[in-house]
Amino acid sequence: MAAVTLSHVGKSYGAVGVLHGVSVDIADGEFVILVGQSGCGKSTLLRMIAGLESVTSGDISIGDRVINDLPPKDRDIAMVFQNYALYPHMTVRKNMEFGLKLRGTPRAEINEKVAHASAILGLESLMERLPRELSGGQRQRVAMGRAIVRDPQVFLFDEPLSNLDAKLRVHMRTEIKALHQRLGATVIYVTHDQIEAMTMADKIVVMHDGRIAQQGAPLDIYDRPANLFVAQFIGSPSMNILDGQFAGDGSAVFITDKGVHILLANVPAENAGRPAKIGIRPEHIMLNDSGIAARVIVTEPTGSETQLTLDVDGHELVVLIRDRVDYKPNDVLKIGLAQNHIHAFDADSGSRLTL
Amino acid sequence: MTLASAGERRASQQARRLSGSRKVGRISYWPFVLPALVVVSAVVVFPWAFTLWMSVSEWKVGEPYHFVGFANYLRLLHDQRFLQSIGRTLLYTVLSVVAPMVIGTLAALLFNEKMPARGLLRGIFVMPMMATPVAIALVWTMMFHPQLGVLNYLLSLIGLDPQDWVFAPDTVIASLVMVETWQWSPLVMLIVLGGLASLPADPYESARIDGANAFQRFWYLTLPMILPFLLVAMTIRMIDALKSFDIIYAITQGGPGTASETTNLYLYSVAFAYAEIGYGSAIAVLFFLLIVVLSLVLLHVRELSGRILGTTK
Amino acid sequence: MSAATRRRMMRFASQLGTLFCAALLVSPALFFFLWMISLSLKLEIDNGAYPPIFIPTHIAWKNYSGVFASNNFFLYFWNSIVVTGTATLLALIVGVPAGYGIARMKASKSAIVIMIARMTPGLSYLIPMFLIFQWLGLLGTLAPQIIIHLVVTVPIVIWVMIGYFETTPLELEEAAMIDGANRWQIFSQVTLPIARPGIVVSLILSVIFSWNNFIFGVVLAGRDTRTLPVAVYNMLSFEQVSWGPLAAAALVVTFPVLVLTIVAQRQIVAGLTAGAVKGG
Ligand SMILES: Nc1ncnc2c1ncn2[C@@H]1O[C@H](COP(=O)(O)OP(=O)(O)OP(=O)(O)O)[C@@H](O)[C@H]1O
Ligand SMILES: [Mg+2]
């Protein structure tokens, strides 16, 4: 086990910059998840840690060793690929043994490790099958088994669950989490599924266009998004954003560009009159008879809750309501916003403003 | 001094990192390619260089090398037999491209349909291109025989006059093209079949729903989509037809007279029958240039059509 | 008649139509090879008859026994095997890794050299190579033919293998790299086993086109170094031409290739379609 440190890591393909000065400290045994939109550079960063891509600038260290120029096999890492990358011509057992054999591990030790890993993953009955004779979830497990037997300092996962159906994905999520707790290994995990990120991670690193938008504990990120991008990316359905400006007279009011007045808990004096955006999550909007009038556009019941899309003087707001409600399009109702759950962001830079 | 050295150090660090990282990120694949490179240089590139060198010489086997500049090339421009052979080659090529293209494409469309014993039928259809050319040439020669040949008998069955086939100057090219078509339509078929297999199903389904009939589906969907494959087939067919040798040599040896002497056969005579190495090399060079130019023309057409249809990769 | 029955009959009729067209299409090939067999099994009287006789009145096995008994047949057969076998083996040894390297370097453009090899008339290799072999004093041996057959076999192997390696996922090799394999281990233990179907295809095609080659032998082969195609062609010029034995000899020469074609039809079709299309 070991800590992983990325300091000012950059990557470019020719003139095209893909990663720009990414710095992350990953503690020993931590489960870190990289999230971000497609193409933001998650896989590239992971592959650089694995040694599959070269490092253009900055340093990557595992433990206290800078590993920039080390070939993958000397980095003491294991990786689980999105398509599992099982060797199609080898049985499950051979797949799991391959890495150990290459390292010249003694036969007895190989057998012991493979038996151990297959027991953990419940693969014992599948050991002599070829990958094509396995289901998706079983392949996934073999891929993990191949990583586990190596007993690496760091596990790398690149969207390991994205090829599984929804149910299996939830199941494997739990399994990976349990496995992490059991092995206590450092894990770096890439996904663009934010539920995966929220449920599994000790620390989430949100990436945007090759930069880190925010890093921190899942709930911290959820509760205090550092910028507009994170605010909108994390959370589903995503946060409602309204354009406008703070009242010029110093009162704690935000006036939207369509003229709706929203009461806030507090606005620091220096922000009076400042153009900004405010955000509020769907679950922080309640039905409130003394609130603002809103017209129903769409009702989407999911069973456990109801998602409403409302029109408030030209603003479209998504609201999540726990109770069963029976609204029809064009019904008019009144809503209120939970004042202390309103986020504010600078209109230009998008960075968080203190309220 | 300190500033400069710090800068230098950074630069050298950067350099080390770059060179080191290249090793990590992408391993070098040159060792894999090197042996083949050596072999290809030895059997392709080197002979070519040698041929160029010989083509500017007056050189017969057993005599010393004697530099003559472009004399051989100039001589070619006035060599009636060479010029005629070019014309004949072009005629032969056009016919041997068009006929197999038509038959091969039809065959591909047909073999793309479900039918009983498709594998067997396709296998039989492919056999002519796999069979040893000399062997089939011998049998064709027997079949072409004006008195005893089975072809004239077959003609007589449908009430046509017997032909002299490869034994008369005015039918020899057509007869050889017939053999060439019989032999090489399968290759066109295979390439087009590959194209048909790669077609997506959705457009067809939506076209059906839009009410397009079979012919419209072929004309508006299939044809544009397999056009790149047709052009590939055409290019390959053209190259092979231009340098066709085995069949012609084994059946007619360029005869009767020189009626079927294509450039490749003339090249053979000059280089190996008359042992004029220098002159033969010049023919080889010009002949190769002809093939390259014609291929480039077709490739250009392919790119153009690809761009028009938006199908280039 | 119900609509369903009518529809079934329509489908049957259209299938019959396709089948008829297909039969028409293969009839020249089928007729040719049947006629070839017929020629090879008939006595001279039958072969000289007009109108021609299709079914031999008397099966002339002696046409075949004559081929096998002719003094040099087994020598020529052996020559063919040595030339084709060695040229194919060498081509696989250098061509398979090369196809891998080219595919991985994404240097398909370098395959242009192969295209040039394809465009060059075989004769233009022959002039310089003939002289060189003469100087080296190799002309009495099989070496010249083996070497020049590489012009045919190496491009085929590289061609087919590039296509194959381009479709094997890079992820597997990366996994092996992380598992600790060096590049030779990756190639030999991961990539090569996966590419086995491609190797089989390139082997078959290489064998067929090398076996069939005629032009190189015509120029380079001496009396004792002829391959079968050259030998059978020489029968035409040196022995009194009689159709039965000639057809039998032709059939014997092309028989191995035809068998291979039928047995490995699937692979050949796959290889030729892929290879040819890549080649454009
Ligand atoms: N070899 C390459 N050459 C040039 N650009 C590349 C190369 N590989 C990746 N990129 C670019 O780098 C960026 C980041 O790619 P990366 O694969 O890391 O994205 P990702 O965050 O993993 O996305 P996804 O969620 O879709 O997997 C992309 O814009 C991609 O186009
Ligand atoms: Mg990715």
Domain ranges of chain C: 3-40, 64-277
Quick check: helix, strand or coil at residue A292? Answer: strand
Is the distance from CB of C153 to CB of C93 less than 8 angstroms? no
Q: Looking at the structure, do residues A172 and A48 belong to the same domain, yes or no? A: yes
Ligand 1 centre distance from Cα of residue A38 (Å): 8
Residue identifier of the C-alpha nearest atom 10 of ligand 1: A18
Cβ neighbours, 10 Å, residue A290: 6
Q: Which of 3.40.50.720, 3.30.70.1400, 1.10.3720.10, 3.90.1200.10 is the CATH number of C64-277? A: 1.10.3720.10
Cβ contact, residue pair C232, B46, below 8 Å: no
Indicate the pairing of strand A77-80 with strand A154-158: parallel
Listed residue (A224, A257, A165, A213) closest to A344, CA to CA: A224
Is the distance from CB of A5 to CB of A57 less than 8 angstroms? no
- Name A158's bridge partners: A190
Cβ contact, residue pair B54, C127, below 8 Å: yes
- Order of strands across the sheet that contains A343-346: A261-263, A253-256, A240-246, A275-280, A343-346, A352-353
How far apart are the CA of B13 and the nearest CA of chain C, in angstroms? 26
Q: Looking at the structure, do residues A189 and A276 belong to the same domain, yes or no? A: no
Cβ contact, residue pair C174, A73, below 8 Å: no
Cα–Cα distance measured from residue A66 to residue A9, given in angstroms and rounded to the nearest whole number: 12
Q: Looking at the structure, do residues A171 and A242 belong to the same domain, yes or no? A: no
* Cis, peptide link before residue A237, omega less than 30° from 0: yes
The CA-based dihedral angle spanning residues A287, A290, A294, A300, taken in that order and rounded to the nearest 10 degrees: 10
Listed residue (C238, C257, C243, C232) closest to C68, CA to CA: C232
Listed residue (B307, B105, B110) closest to B226, CA to CA: B105
| Cβ partners under 8 Å of residue A144, min gap 6 | A80, A121, A160, A176, A179
- Give pLDDT < 50 ranges for chain B: 1-25, 310-313
Question: What is the sign of the dihedral through the CA atoms of C142, C143, C145 and C149?
Answer: positive
Ligand 2 centre distance from Cα of residue A266 (Å): 41
What are the boundaries of each domain within chain B? 3-55, 71-309
Considering A225, A249, A278, which residue would you say is the last residue of a domain? Answer: A225
| Cβ partners under 8 Å of residue C118, min gap 6 | B239, C155, C279
CATH code of the domain containing A330: 2.40.50.140
Q: Looking at the structure, do residues A41 and A105 belong to the same domain, yes or no? A: yes
> What letters, b where the CB count within 10 A reaches 16 and e where it falls short, cover C183-195?
bebbbebbbbebb
- Measured in whole angstroms, the distance separating CA A85 from the mean position of its chain's CA atoms is 23
- B4-7 contacts: CB < 8 A, separation 24 or more? none
Cα–Cα distance measured from residue B139 to residue B153, given in angstroms and rounded to the nearest whole number: 15
**Per-residue pLDDT for chain A (355 aa), expressed as one digit of tens each?**
589 999 999 999 988 899 999 999 999 999 999 999 989 999 999 999 999 898 999 999 998 889 988 888 888 899 998 888 899 889 999 999 998 998 889 999 999 999 999 988 888 999 999 998 998 889 988 998 999 898 888 999 999 888 888 888 888 888 889 889 888 889 999 998 888 899 999 999 999 999 999 999 999 999 999 999 999 999 888 999 999 999 888 788 999 999 889 988 888 888 888 999 999 999 999 988 888 899 999 999 888 889 999 999 989 999 998 888 888 899 999 999 998 899 999 999 999 998 8
Q: pLDDT value at position C108? A: 66
- C-contacting residues in A 273-302 (Cβ below 8 Å): none
Pick the residue from chain C with its C-alpha nearest to A78: C178
Contacts of B143 in chain C (CB under 8 A): 32, 35
Q: pLDDT value at position A96? A: 93
For residue B228, give the H/E element and its range: helix B223-242
Q: pLDDT value at position A108? A: 94
Q: Looking at the structure, do residues A173 and A269 belong to the same domain, yes or no? A: no
The CA-based dihedral angle spanning residues C117, C118, C122, C124, taken in that order and rounded to the nearest 10 degrees: -50
Question: Maximum Cα–Cα distance for chain A, whole Å?
Answer: 79
Residue A230 lies in a domain: no
Quick check: helix, strand or coil at residue A22? Answer: strand
ipTM of the complex as predicted: 0.87
How far apart are the CA of A183 and the nearest CA of chain C, in angstroms? 19
Pick the residue from chain A with its C-alpha nearest to C194: A89
- pLDDT tens figures, B129-145: 999 999 999 999 989 98
Tokens of A190: 């890439």
Instruction: Give residue A155's domain range.
Output: 4-225
Cβ contact, residue pair C233, B138, below 8 Å: yes
CB of A13 closer than 6 A to ligand 1?
A: yes
Is the distance from CB of B196 to CB of B113 less than 8 angstroms? no
Q: pLDDT value at position A32? A: 96
3 state SS for C27-42: HHHHHHHHHHHHHHCC
Q: pLDDT value at position C274? A: 57
What is chain A's mean pLDDT, rounded? 90
In angstroms, the first-to-last Cα distance of chain A is 41
In angstroms, the first-to-last Cα distance of chain B is 54
Cα–Cα distance measured from residue A324 to residue C166, given in angstroms and rounded to the nearest whole number: 55
Q: pLDDT value at position C273? A: 66
Outline where chain A has alpha helix (H).
Answer: 42-50, 92-102, 107-121, 136-149, 166-183, 194-200, 218-223, 228-233
Ligand 1 centre distance from Cα of residue A35 (Å): 14
Q: What is the CATH number of domain B71-309?
A: 1.10.3720.10
Cα–Cα distance measured from residue B100 to residue B183, given in angstroms and rounded to the nearest whole number: 9
Q: From the list C169, C182, C193, which residue is nearest A89 (CB)?
A: C193
Q: Looking at the structure, do residues A137 and A96 belong to the same domain, yes or no? A: yes
**Per-residue pLDDT for chain C (280 aa), expressed as one digit of tens each?**
577 788 888 888 888 888 888 999 999 999 999 999 999 998 887 887 778 888 888 888 888 888 888 768 899 999 999 999 999 999 999 999 998 998 888 776 776 777 777 788 888 888 888 888 888 888 889 999 999 999 889 988 988 888 888 878 888 999 999 988 888 899 999 999 988 888 988 899 899 999 999 999 988 888 889 999 999 888 776 555 688 888 999 999 999 999 988 888 877 777 776 544 433 2
Q: Looking at the structure, do residues A19 and A162 belong to the same domain, yes or no? A: yes
Residue A232 lies in a domain: no
Q: Which residue has the tokens 């880190």?
A: A212
Residue identifier of the C-alpha nearest atom 8 of ligand 1: A44
CB of A87 closer than 6 A to ligand 1?
A: no
Tokens of B90: 């072009």
How far apart are the CA of A50 and the nearest CA of chain B, in angstroms? 10
Cα–Cα distance measured from residue A4 to residue A20, given in angstroms and rounded to the nearest whole number: 18
CB of B24 less than 8 A from some CB of A: yes
Cβ contact, residue pair C175, A85, below 8 Å: yes
Beta strands in C122-213 (DSSP E): none
The CA-based dihedral angle spanning residues A173, A177, A182, A185, taken in that order and rounded to the nearest 10 degrees: 120
Q: Looking at the structure, do residues A220 and A243 belong to the same domain, yes or no? A: no
Phi and psi at residue A82, in whole multiples of 5°?
-60, -40
Cα–Cα distance measured from residue B128 to residue B187, given in angstroms and rounded to the nearest whole number: 10
CB of A41 closer than 6 A to ligand 1?
A: yes
* Angle formed by the axes of helices C243-263 and C228-238, nearest 10°: 160
Listed residue (B164, B160, B184) closest to B172, CA to CA: B164
Considering A166, A199, A225, which residue would you say is the last residue of a domain? Answer: A225
Cβ contact, residue pair A87, C172, below 8 Å: yes
CB of B19 less than 8 A from some CB of A: no
Q: What protein residues have CB closer than 5 angstroms to ion ligand 2?
A: A 43
Degrees, nearest 5: CA angle C210-C215-C216: 65
Listed residue (B111, B291, B308, B129) closest to B227, CA to CA: B308
Name which of C106, C168, C179, C199 to mutate to probe chain A: the one with the most chain A Cβ atoms within 10 A of its Cβ.
Answer: C179
Cα separations (Å) of A268 from A245, A256, C47? 13, 18, 111
Q: Looking at the structure, do residues A161 and A79 belong to the same domain, yes or no? A: yes
Q: At B270, which amino acid appears?
A: V
Cα–Cα distance measured from residue C192 to residue C203, given in angstroms and rounded to the nearest whole number: 14
Cα–Cα distance measured from residue C23 to residue C31, given in angstroms and rounded to the nearest whole number: 11
CB of B17 less than 8 A from some CB of A: yes
Q: Looking at the structure, do residues A193 and A54 belong to the same domain, yes or no? A: yes
| Cβ partners under 8 Å of residue B12, min gap 6 | none
Q: Looking at the structure, do residues A20 and A141 belong to the same domain, yes or no? A: yes
Residue A294 lies in a domain: yes
Q: pLDDT value at position C237? A: 62
